[in-house]
Structure 1
Amino acid sequence: MFCLGAEQCWFGAMIAFLLISFAMIAAIFACARIAHRSVRPISYDMERLLGYVLLPVLGDVIMVVAPSEPLAMFGALLFFAGTDWMLLELVNFIAVYCSSQFRGTIWAFLFAAMATVDTVVILSNVFTGFVFKLEPTAFMPWMGSFILIPQPWLLVHQCITLLMFLAAVILLLNKAILVPAVYSERYVVMLIAVLASVGTDIYYLSTDTPLGFSFVAYTICALLGFFFAIVYKPFIVIDRLLSRVVSEFGEVIAVFDGDANCLFVNDVAREQFGLDPDDLHSGNALFTRFLGEGSSYVVEHEREAYDSLNGVQRYFRVRYSVIADKKQRVVGGYLIVYDQTEYEESLIEERKATEEAQFRADHDSLTGLYRKHKFCEAVERLFSENPNVNYAIAVSNVKDFSLINDIYGSEEGDDLLVRIATALREKANPGTLYARLASDHFAVCFDRDRVSYRMFIDLPDQVAYVNADRLFPVVVHVGLYEVTDRSLSVPIMIDRAMRAAKSIGSEYAHERRLAIYDDAMRDELLWSKKVIGAFDRAMREHQIRPYVQPQVNADGVVRGGEALARWIHPEWGELRPDRFIPIFERNGMIVQLDKHIWEESCRILRDWANRGIDMYVAVNISPRDFFFIDVAQTFIDLVEKHGIAPQALHLEITEAVVMEKGAAAMAALERLRAAGFVVEMDDFGSGYSSLGMLKDMPVDVLKVDMAFLSRAKDPERARKILEGVIALSESLGMPSIVEGVETSEQYDMLRAMGCGLFQGYYFARPMPFPDFEKKYLD
């Protein structure tokens, strides 16, 4: 029997009961506020538990101090129903606390169902009296008191609460057994608190004690949960872990107190430096070894040091840090010695690799000279540092370098490039910059007041022949740009020097190896742009048309003619071929122009065939044509289209065709000859022509330029060579044509040599086809 109210002997207990109750309620609210602010995942479950604990606490207080039966009944109902839901939330909290899953499981559903049924029965006690009854007692009549008489369902309620307590105990006991001993204290303490709550609850309900203190056990249990879940820090565990971490840390560590006494040296320090594990003074020796004699223990230090370790030089980074209290009083310090040797070596290797990669990016791998972008940077820096020096930029170009690679192989080509680079270095003065721009193009920036241009004229003499083969001379053309306008970018200066080199053209004569960029070249560049811009309109309006220059035999009879392109511009008038043909050769438009001349020539031959005129027309094929179109198929299609005999269309090529395209060009010429076309070699003897090449080239006619004689230093010797070439061609069954015949004396001399066909101003200048027909065919 439990009796509410008492006199005298219970007065002190009542006062203590109320003080404890209010203290517990205040503690619950304070802890709930802290939990609400916490960012820990468990804080939400903690808040819920503290909220539910208030229910039985308030119910117990109301039940004890109630002056009337209805209020006492309300307190009792709140106590018993609140206990159900407080215990349900306790089980859930402990499950989260122990890292177990409870919420959402079948057990959570069963416990919630039991708590719900029990709550309904308890609340219905007002009408049924099936759980408990209240009877007045005379313990403290001045307050009013009641005795709680247990009824049958109260035993069921106790069983339900014991089941929930048992679930909490099982969770805590299981966790306490499984975790390491250093962590078990937080679970064991909670386990004791839960068991204490069970005991006080059983004692309170099984006796007639007028004051119930089981709510105190509930509150203490909840507050302990709050402490371990929100506030608690396992300092012992942290201390042990930190000690273990420091001991096994991969770097040397020594710890000192405020009086510079060594407190701890880790295993790494002992192993690496052979320190005595029982002599902590060895830590002070380590301090002195790296920071020097007299270094202060109350001042922070950081330095880099080299030291010998096991006979090997090592690189260390040393740091000594001071530990101070809140009043900035030194309480100790610790020394860390980082072995940075491998890291430093990796940095050195990485730096070396980066420098090598940068060098490869900036320097040509074959010659070691600057690449173009690095050369431009270096030249700009050179100009900036030497504003009063007169500089020049030279660019070299190896004539027919691709042919050298084709004939002798890339190894011989590379060797030639290395020899050119070596010659540039040996000839130039200090302060000169060099670069390999691309392929066979080199660039040099030099002080033109200190370096003679003769250096570049003599350059080919050092690399005169490929692989000592004197049958294949190396011709190097050099273009110079004298730097007068430094506002121009270096790439533009290089382009101007390159343009000067290319202006030397296809000349192989050693007298002209060097060209200097001037205003005339600038004007030529502007002219090139104008010509290129006007080309499309010229083709549409047939401003470019074929002229023909007759070819006559030894009897003076015209046998045919060579079709030559002429441009009749509405503003510029008649343009000589040398004003536009080289431009189109460089940019590839020559292909379109050639196809136009070929088409017009075939149309004319078709007209002649219809009129029964038996004459041929010779057309020129540019080396560039072989790069862009199938030359053989193009001519085969043309003669089929116009229905003319292939023999009526003679095809003039230069030896440069074979030089530049090699086997591909040879195959195309063989195919054309097999189809019935007559192939003529134009300008024989002006370049690399040799007897060896003559025997292999698929041609039917040799065409020799009279300029061969005029350019010779020994005209008589050249005349004999010309006579020999004519005789040789005839003996090979290859008729010869000499062009450039301008006088009757030349005509007579060539007839005497046995030449069969002639072309030149002596007979006629190139003329429109209608004029040719009127003069020779009508």
Structure 2
Amino acid sequence: MFNDDAYFRFGNLIGYRDSFTDTALTNDKLVGLLQQAIKSSNLTLVCFDEKNRLTYANTRAFEMFNVTSSDSLERVFFDWIETYSKHLEYSNWCQVYEALDGEKVYDITCQRIHTSEGKLRNSIYIIDECVPSSSGKAGVRYRQMHDPLTGLLNREGFCHVVEEYRNRHKNDRGAHYLIITNIRDFKLINQIHGDKFGDSILKTTGRIIKSLMYADDIYGRLYADKFAILVPEKNFDKAMYHSMINLIRSQIASEKQTLRLQAGVYKMDTMMDDVSAMCDRAMIALNSIKSEDPVTFAFYDPEMMKQAITEKIVVTHFESALKNGEFRIYLQPQVNHHEELIGCEALVRWKKDDNTVIPPNAFIPVLEKSNLISHLDAYVWELAAIKLREWKHTEFRDLYISVNISPRDMEFMDVYEVITGLAKKYDIDPSKLHLEITETAIMRNPATVSDMILRLKEDGFIIEIDDFGSGYSSLNMLKDIRADVVKIDMGFLRKSENEDRSRIILDSVIYMAKRLGMSTVTEGVETSQQFEELNSMGCDVYQGYLYSKPVSIMDFEKKYSRIYKSEKII
């Protein structure tokens, strides 16, 4: 126990007013814990100065580590806690210690106190046995139930604790929320930046989750980047969780990686569902998220189950469908201001063995979410290259084919190497293969994409900025990205109460593109009136149902054979 002098010295220590981090203990809480440690015979209390020299230890500390001198205690303590003290991630964590009577698990609260200049002044450790065990095997059970990286419950531990909680509260009427969080593209982050960087993200995430939870919340790391939290309704505050996720993002923000975090939420009016069913529904909500926003929440809805089953079918059959040639390219014509055919866009369709055609909006978002879209895109590019080779000695030899590059493609492959490799493999003129890159793809990584575009242009490929005007940084992007073509988003042609404003914007974009040495393509042209208006503005190329919907290669070649340069094609 402290004598008066010791308590006086500690009164000065903890009375020093300084700034604490978001996850640190407050001064009042620290005082309370110290007073509790001083009075308790069960709590271990050790304190060190800025050079990690022991300044105080209570009797329990000497008993716990079975030493009699301060030097020995200092050495044994830092031998035990060394891995945590060098790169401390938590203000509170659990750790196993092998005592004379067997392994025990201790809850450790650490507070580092700094001067007003930010220099370390003292480190205080309060240690409590959190899993008492007369058999000395508490450490074994602890390791079975906890994640060694974050110190949180692992999947087994989380399910076990939630199941015990559920059994106690089955008849309660209060609602509960199960939340599962996800770091978008975490596997890719690990591949690019290494496991050490990925581990730091996971440890920071675990530390912040632990610091913000209530005493009756249950939380853990299920696997990889998936963290789960079970909270009673009285503790659930979406704004707080939104702030928590933003705090995680801010702690890890760096030039290396911008994180996008997502959360699936399942609300239960009773605790009748078993743990696996709760997690399944929260995961379905999580997997329903298509937004590219930095922070996104999705709440489970029964319709999501049907959608999840459909998406599972798409992912399950994708590889075999690709291998069996079920994905085909359909071509939609593009015409010049004389309404003469000059090229087409390749659009993918999934045509099953029974001739059922699955539209792209039924499978492309699923493949994007499942990180499979790059496989499909590379396949489509190759089909387009093969067709251009076949056209080299036919009446279609002057036509080009434009293909789409997804934002995800640049994350999973070297687009430059794949595209240039196809041009060499099939001996095609690069200018006949137009590459459509969306604003979203460009704005994700402007420097990298800009460099890739310059290299492709130098090799003779035509670069188009697709869906121009659908994003938020269009004009700024044009300043830095030297593309050949601006493809104007069809949204400008849709009927609305703002048609006059749309025409003004269209006219300005077309004029600006010409000043920048870029040609323009407008998609979604459906009426002769739209064509006439666009033509008067100086648009170069037109695409839409006025000329044709996307059709199979056979129908395209049959319809436009020998007429595409001599007649209008309407």
TM over 0.5: yes
User: How far did 1:577 drift?
Assistant: 0.8
Task: Name the CA distance, whole Å, in 2 between partners of 1:346 and 1:478.
Answer: 43
The one-character-per-residue Cα deviations of 1:167-203 (angstroms, maximum 9, x if unpaired) are: xxxxxxxxxxxxxxxxxxxxxxxxxxxxxxxxxxxxx
Q: CA deviation at 1:448?
A: 4.3
Structure 1 letter corresponding to 2:177: A
The correspondence for 2:310, drawn from 516, 527, 537, is: 527
| 2:464 maps to amino acid | E
Q: Name which of 495, 498, 503 aligns with 2:288.
A: 503
Write out aligned runs for 1:623-702 (5 A).
Answer: 623-658=407-442, 664-687=448-471, 689-702=473-486
SS of the residue corresponding to residue 488 of structure 2 reads strand
Select the structure that is richer in helix: 1
Q: Distance in 1 between matches of 2:302 and 2:554?
A: 40
Q: TM-score, normalised by structure 1?
A: 0.46
Q: Aligned in 2, Cα 1:724/1:600: closer, same or farther, shift over 3 Å?
A: same
Structure-2 residue corresponding to 1:566? 349
* Deviation of the 1:396 alpha carbon: 4.5
State the partner residue of 1:707. 491
Report the Cα offset of residue 733 of structure 1: 1.6
State how far apart, in whole Å, the 2-side matches of 1:716 and 1:423 are.
Answer: 51
Pick one of 299, 310, 313 that aligns with 1:516: 299
TM-aligned CA deviation for residue 705 of structure 1? 2.0
Q: Does 1:729 align with 2:513?
A: yes
1:355 alignment counterpart:
106
1:73-98 deviation per Cα after TM superposition (whole angstroms, max 9, x unaligned)? xxxxxxxxxxxxxxxxxxxxxxxxxx
Are 2:325 and 1:542 aligned? yes
- Shift of the alpha carbon at 1:589? 3.8
Give the Å deviation of 1:645. Answer: 0.8
Which is bigger in relative contact order (C-alpha 8 A, separation at least 6)? 2
Code of the residue aligned with 1:342 in structure 2: it is: T
- The equivalent residue for 2:335 is 552
Q: Distance in 2 between matches of 1:712 and 1:462?
A: 40
Deviation at 1:346, TM superposition (A): 8.9
Q: Which amino acid aligns with 1:355?
A: Y
Q: What letter corresponds to residue 301 of structure 2 in structure 1?
A: D
Cα 1:735–1:363, aligned 2, differ >3 Å: closer, same or farther?
A: farther
1:757 aligns with 2:483: no
Q: Deviations over 1:184-235 (max 9, x none)?
A: xxxxxxxxxxxxxxxxxxxxxxxxxxxxxxxxxxxxxxxxxxxxxxxxxxxx
For 1:671, the aligned partner's letter is: R
How far apart, in 2, do the equivalents of 1:421 and 1:399 lie?
19
Distance of aligned partners of 1:707 and 1:480 in 2 relative to their CA distance in 1, 3 Å threshold:
farther
Match of 1:579 in 2: 362
Q: What is residue 227 of structure 1 aligned with on the other side?
A: none
Which residue pairs with 2:68 in the alignment? 342
RMSD: 5.2
Query: How many pairs align?
Result: 433
SS of alignment partner, residue 342 of structure 1: coil
> Could you say if the C-alpha distance between residues 587 and 509 of structure 1 is closer, same or farther in structure 2, counting changes exceeding 3 Å?
closer
Query: As a proportion of its length, which structure holds more strand?
Result: 2
| 1: CA distance, partners of 2:495 / 2:272 | 40
Unaligned runs of 5+ in 2: 1-56, 81-94, 98-104, 109-138, 563-570
Q: Deviations over 1:42-61 (max 9, x none)?
A: xxxxxxxxxxxxxxxxxxxx
Q: For 1:383, which of 166, 169, 185 is the aligned residue?
A: 166
Alignment of 1:169-248 (within 5 A): none
Distance in 1, Cα, partners of 2:401 & 2:340: 15
**CA-CA distance at 1:677 after TM superposition:** 0.7
Q: Give the secondary-structure state (helix, strand or coil) at the position aligned to 2:470.
A: coil
Q: Tell me how far 1:631 sits from its aligned partner.
A: 2.6
1:603 aligns with 2:386: yes
Report how far residue 515 of structure 1 moved: 2.8
Shift of 1:517: 2.6
Question: Cα distance 1:695–1:742, how it changes in 2: closer, same or farther (>3 A)?
Answer: same
Letter aligned with residue 740 of structure 1? G
Alignment equivalent of 1:481, drawn from 266, 280, 292: 266
Q: What does the per-residue CA deviation read over 1:709-738, in whole Å, with 9 as the maximum and x for residues that have no partner?
A: 769997766665555444333322222323
**What does 1:158-177 align with in structure 2 at a 5 Å threshold?**
none
Which runs of no fewer than 5 residues in structure 1 stay unpaired? 1-311, 318-338
Superposition pairs for residues 31-430 of structure 1, below 5 Å?
342=68, 349=77, 355=106, 375-387=158-170, 388=172, 389-396=174-181
Q: What displacement does 1:770 show?
A: 1.8
Residue 573 of structure 1 and its aligned partner are, at CA, apart by 1.0
SS of equivalent to 2:518: coil
Letter in 2 for 1:394: I
1:754 to partner: Cα distance: 3.8
Contact between 2:162 and 2:218, CA under 8 Å: does it hold in 1?
Answer: yes
Question: Percent identity at matched positions?
Answer: 34
Q: Does the aligned pair in 1 maintain the 2:166–2:271 contact within 8 Å? A: no
Q: Residues 623 and 507 of structure 1: is their aligned pair in 2 closer, same or farther, counting only changes over 3 Å?
A: closer
Change (3 A) 1:671 1:769: same
